[in-house]
């Protein structure tokens, strides 16, 4: 640290991304990327003429992508915000709405804590129940005489499904959160929503609740983690606030090629749906196999499983898998230290993973 760093950032603890080692070829089940390549239209969009156009700035209004998102999600163009990854959308939301602080679960996406610190936003951490589900009452606040709730006096951010547990909350729960906390923003991070067995996206609720902001990303279900595109959908007034901040920071936040790729990815619904279906099938298979090996596996609706074995510690399993060429994600948090998060890849990768786990447990 230099002696020039502003005091506000001296205690900042940055996010720790999942490892991307280059030393050898791993079966990479540690960062929830898609095993599938982007849609054929996306690959075709990355061409020479697009490269020639890189001399020009990207469209600061992101028009073609906003138009496509508006059509795909049946919302107004003015209800759409586009970010350099959904992490950037989350950051602008914390920056814009964070004055009263944000509440979120103790076991959740670790970026929230970092973004809060970066923006000097206070936080209130709500412990999950012992079964790793969210206790809705924690976010509703005290009951009022009319049988309603007074809210918790803070904004809320919850991933649905939650990460790294994979467990979803219901749309009724989200509606209750919005109603109880009408004077604050309720942000639902839907990074994994496309992998759920049933449609559980809160996007349709944004028409009813002016304080609901939903974020999604192209990084997981649309195989574009490296393109860095995410978006938020909510009431036009919320979006306008975030646009003010974006235009005060970086109006060219999404580059030309990524924007074009994102449009193509949205257009190919058949490819997208087929890939999500394959992930669901591989998830179900892997879960059954892990259970046969004695694992306790949480009920995941995402492209990963969160599992622990009574026979081996989470850390030990992670290290031995790594030795054997399989990368999963282990978190040091004592509450979940016995678990590993296993991203769902190709069928053959999952078979190899299960084989390797079996060998580790046997010898």
Ligand X SMILES: *Cc1c(COP(=O)(O)O)cnc(C)c1O
Q: Which two tokens stand for residue 165?
A: 């547990």
Is 338 a binder of ligand X (CB under 6 A)? no
Nearer to ligand X by Cβ, of 189 and 264: the residue is 189
Is 309 a binder of ligand X (CB under 6 A)? no
Produce one character per residue of 234-247: b if its CB has 16 or more CB atoms within 10 Å, e if not: bbeebbebbbeebe
Least Å distance, CB 188 to ligand X, is: 11
Is 191 a binder of ligand X (CB under 6 A)? yes
220, 265 Cβ separation under 8 angstroms: no
The interface region with ligand X, picked from 69-77, 81-89, 247-255, 306-314 by CB under 6 A, is 81-89
Nearer to ligand X by Cβ, of 191 and 307: the residue is 191
Using CA atoms, how far residue 186 sits from 38, 140, 284, 301, in Å, is 31, 11, 31, 21
Is 161 a binder of ligand X (CB under 6 A)? no
Least Å distance, CB 230 to ligand X, is: 4
Nearer to ligand X by Cβ, of 230 and 234: the residue is 230
Is 166 a binder of ligand X (CB under 6 A)? no
The interface region with ligand X, picked from 83-91, 95-103, 253-261, 317-325 by CB under 6 A, is 83-91
Is 30 a binder of ligand X (CB under 6 A)? no
| Footprint (CB under 6 A) of ligand X, residues 85-104 | 85-87
CA distance 30 to 40: 25
Kindly write out the interface string for residues 212-251 of this chain, putting x where it contacts ligand X by CB under 6 A and - elsewhere. -----x-x-----x----x---------------------
**Three-state secondary structure readout of 148-201:** CECCCCCEEEEECCCCCCCCCCCHHHHHHHHHHCCCCCEEEECCCHHHCCCCCC
Using CA atoms, how far residue 116 sits from 19, 120, 155, in Å, is 23, 6, 12
φ, ψ of residue 174 to 5 degrees: the values are -65, -40
Kindly write out the interface string for residues 104-133 of this chain, putting x where it contacts ligand X by CB under 6 A and - elsewhere. -----x------------------------
CA distance 278 to 280: 5
Q: Which residues bind ligand X (CB under 6 A)?
A: 85-87, 109, 159, 163, 189, 191, 217, 219, 225, 230
């Amino acid at each position: 640290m230099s002696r020039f760093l502003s005091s506000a950032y001296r205690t900042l603890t940055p996010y720790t991304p999942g490892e991307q080692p280059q030393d050898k070829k791993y079966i990479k089940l540690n960062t929830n990327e898609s095993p599938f390549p982007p849609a054929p239209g996306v690959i075709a969009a990355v061409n020479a003429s697009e490269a020639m156009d890189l001399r020009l700035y990207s469209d600061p209004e992101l028009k073609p992508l906003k138009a496509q998102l508006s059509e795909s999600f049946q919302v107004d163009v003015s209800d759409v915000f586009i970010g350099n990854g959904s992490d950037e959308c989350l950051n602008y939301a914390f920056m814009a709405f964070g004055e009263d602080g944000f509440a979120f679960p103790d076991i959740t996406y670790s970026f929230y804590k970092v973004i809060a610190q970066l923006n000097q936003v206070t936080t209130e951490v709500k412990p999950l129940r012992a079964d790793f589900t969210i206790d809705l009452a924690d976010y509703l606040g005290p009951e009022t005489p009319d049988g309603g709730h007074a809210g918790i006096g803070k904004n809320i951010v919850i991933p649905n499904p939650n990460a790294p547990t994979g467990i979803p909350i219901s749309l009724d729960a989200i509606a209750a959160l919005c109603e109880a906390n009408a004077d604050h923003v309720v942000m639902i991070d839907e990074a994994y929503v496309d992998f759920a067995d049933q449609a559980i996206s809160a996007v349709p609720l944004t028409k009813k609740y002016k304080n609901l902001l939903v974020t999604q990303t192209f990084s997981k279900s649309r195989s574009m983690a490296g393109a860095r595109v995410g978006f938020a959908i909510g009431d036009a007034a919320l979006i306008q606030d975030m646009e003010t901040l974006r235009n005060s920071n970086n109006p060219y936040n999404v580059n030309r090629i990524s924007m074009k790729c994102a449009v193509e990815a949205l257009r190919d619904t058949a490819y997208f749906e087929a890939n999500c279906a394959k992930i669901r099938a591989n998830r179900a298979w892997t879960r059954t196999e892990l259970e046969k090996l004695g694992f306790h596996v949480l009920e995941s609706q995402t492209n990963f499983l969160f599992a622990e074995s009574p026979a081996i510690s989470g850390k030990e399993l992670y290290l031995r898998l790594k030795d054997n060429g399989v990368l999963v994600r282990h978190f040091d948090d004592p509450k979940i230290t016995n678990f590993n998060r296993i991203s769902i890849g190709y069928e053959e990768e999952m078979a190899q993973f299960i084989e390797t786990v079996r060998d580790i447990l046997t010898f």
